[in-house]
Amino acid sequence: MKPQDELKLRSAKSDEHFLLTDLCMRSKAVWGYDDHFMDQCRAELTLNEAACTSDNLRVADRAGTILGIAEIVIDGEECFLEKLFVDPEQQSVGIGRALFDWAKSRAILLRQDELIIEADPGAVGFYRKMGATMAGESASQSIPGRSLPKLVLPLSPI
**pTM for this predicted structure:** 0.93
Domain assignment present for 119: yes
State residue 141's pLDDT score: 87
Q: Give yes or no for a contact between 125 and 111, defined as CB atoms under 8 angstroms apart.
A: no
Domain assignment present for 32: yes
Domain assignment present for 1: no
Give the amino acid at 30.
V
State residue 156's pLDDT score: 81
Domain assignment present for 50: yes
State residue 87's pLDDT score: 96
Domain assignment present for 131: yes
pLDDT by 10-residue block (mean), the chain, 158 residues: 77 94 96 94 92 94 96 94 96 94 96 96 96 95 92 86
Q: How many helices (H) and strands (E) does the chain have?
A: 5, 7
Domain extent at residue 120: 7-154
How many domains would you assign to the chain?
1
**CATH code of the domain covering residue 16:** 3.40.630.30
Domain assignment present for 33: yes
Measured in degrees and rounded to the nearest 5, phi and psi for residue 76 equal: 65, -120
Domain assignment present for 129: yes
State residue 3's pLDDT score: 52
State residue 5's pLDDT score: 78
Domain assignment present for 139: yes
